[in-house]
Structure 1
């Protein structure tokens, strides 16, 4: 096992439901310094594990384990942290309780403060639902987080993306077979990448010779590796994301945004269909220390996935610049 487990016992979620024998899977890279101030938190996205984040971690990169202590917590529901697939629940695994982004971040906060003794975080960054966790950290713990760099993600799930989640939940709510997972993959195929990506045949850069081959070989196969009940749990987490939907802000989204004190570099994908540039513009306009730094790429949401070198370089350079800002 290449990760650690943080046991939480019976944990009361935001909904009031108790998650029995809850646990968080996480991996660390590098060494925590004596001052405990070289910490970078890099949460995972929907369907990803800590291994999925390793493209952005390495010697000579912004997230350099020779300089920083990098913690990658696994999203609850992903199969490594508490999930339908590894939790004793009734036979209908759809009964797995709703876990919010706020729940994930509160549990990560327990790990950081009570187990690791960390009182300052240099940076929280992440892609997609990982980006949403970065926003949540900035709003929930503004005095703990010095910088945030969410890429291809927003501070809440805006209505259009909410509707998308409804679409991908539907096959899984109907049944939990490979057929439903293939259907989810085909729905994602029309959303994850831009019109220009498909028009220009950029899937050939990934080794696929035809569009049909790409849809089946990339999109379907990606989702066939996942547990359908885990996937459904993560969809529900994503659909409910909102940094103001908690006791701190009581639904006041603008107040939550304004409360983020961290130096923030917000990186929407210029062609992202889930988390749009316009939504990010609104959020940046309501944050006191934020700049908008769009990823000028036709790789859509997957500009933040670590599979296209120009986008990797762009994100890495932005993180280097943000980390160079003295606090």
Structure 2
């Protein structure tokens, strides 16, 4: 019987130096934990969060009954992205860094903060797996590059090693749409920029799924009666999010490049599995295949018409089971 008790905690980093040289003042890393370290301290699993998602969105990878991530066996930690509203973010930063004053965060900054969490809260435990989807996958690859001596395996789902030009243009399009709302006021808004957030959501929606998803009405499998219902869901979801948070994390995503930290020999020293979706429109199969070859990672394609969402934790049964098989391989189960 699985334990289902998640514990929420905050790790105080103090004034945290970023790779840019700026300081994230009074930085805080929110994290969720289930399970406990074993005596050898070698059963730690890290599940970083993704764009627009909270820790709750990652929990199905653990809570689902068929998951190989058993909290009775593993100590599982979900660290929340800087900028996304749970850890230090434009919406909850030091008073001098709120809103548009929030500094640029690199993927490596998130991983360095998580490294301090492991060192100081989890007694520098050995990490048997870092598993992430989307921006969580970017973090998993950065973990393998930055701390190869501290982790045994990494699995990156629907992610590439860097943000490629077409992906960057996608991010520019959604953030420009948001900024075009006069209420946004270059991030100095005093009320919710409704029009900008709705425009953001509508553009994002068209990229999150594949062309086949819409053509073949696959949204029915997600519980939506029509494209309009799906669109309304996305709009309402984005209206609940802070606009500056969305922009801050988009900047982190846009600047991602794991090769920056690998030098002339980019092959990872950690066994790594990359699982792109065949129909992902921004973390494309072709880009992921090229990255896997450069990094020396194992490459497995998720053959799905659900686009980027195919890899989302617990969203689709067949795709989730493929992720679980990769996890079992990574953990040698």
2:278 is the alignment partner of 1:273: no
In structure 1, distance between residues paired with 2:328 and 2:237: 31
Aligned twin of 2:127: 121
In structure 1, distance between residues paired with 2:177 and 2:28: 28
Equivalent of 1:174 in 173, 180, 187: 180
Superposition deviation, residue 206 in structure 1: 2.2
Aligned twin of 2:45: 40
In structure 1, distance between residues paired with 2:7 and 2:170: 34
Alignment of structure 1 residues 62-211 onto 2, 5 Å: 62-90=68-96, 93-175=99-181, 176=184, 177-211=193-227
Secondary structure at the aligned position of 1:6 is classed as strand
Superposition deviation, residue 11 in structure 1: 1.1
In structure 2, distance between residues paired with 1:2 and 1:188: 32
Aligned twin of 2:190: none
Normalising by structure 2, report the TM-score. Answer: 0.91
In structure 2, distance between residues paired with 1:88 and 1:319: 38
Deviates more, 1:132-141 or 1:200-209: 200-209
Superposition deviation, residue 280 in structure 1: 1.1
Contact in 1 for aligned 2:12/2:28 (Cα 8 Å): yes
Contact in 1 for aligned 2:89/2:98 (Cα 8 Å): no
Normalising by structure 1, report the TM-score. Answer: 0.92
Alignment of structure 1 residues 244-283 onto 2, 5 Å: 244-245=259-260, 248-249=261-262, 252=263, 255=265, 257-258=266-267, 260-283=268-291
In structure 2, distance between residues paired with 1:42 and 1:90: 30
Equivalent of 1:9 in 7, 11, 14: 14
Contact in 1 for aligned 2:90/2:244 (Cα 8 Å): yes
Equivalent of 2:300 in 290, 293, 318: 293
How many residue pairs get matched?
316
**Deviation per residue, 1:18-39 (Å, 9 max, x gap):** 1111010001111110111011
Task: Could you list the structure 1 runs, at least 4 aligned residues long, displaced by more than 6 angstroms after superposition.
Answer: none
Equivalent of 2:236 in 176, 198, 221: 221
Please give the root-mean-square deviation of Cα atoms over the aligned residues, in Å.
1.7
In structure 2, distance between residues paired with 1:72 and 1:214: 28
> Tell me, which stretches of 5 or more residues in structure 1 are unaligned?
none
In structure 2, distance between residues paired with 1:207 and 1:115: 40
Superposition deviation, residue 119 in structure 1: 4.0
Secondary structure at the aligned position of 2:39 is classed as coil
> Tell me, which stretches of 5 or more residues in structure 2 are unaligned?
1-5, 185-192
In structure 1, distance between residues paired with 2:114 and 2:172: 27
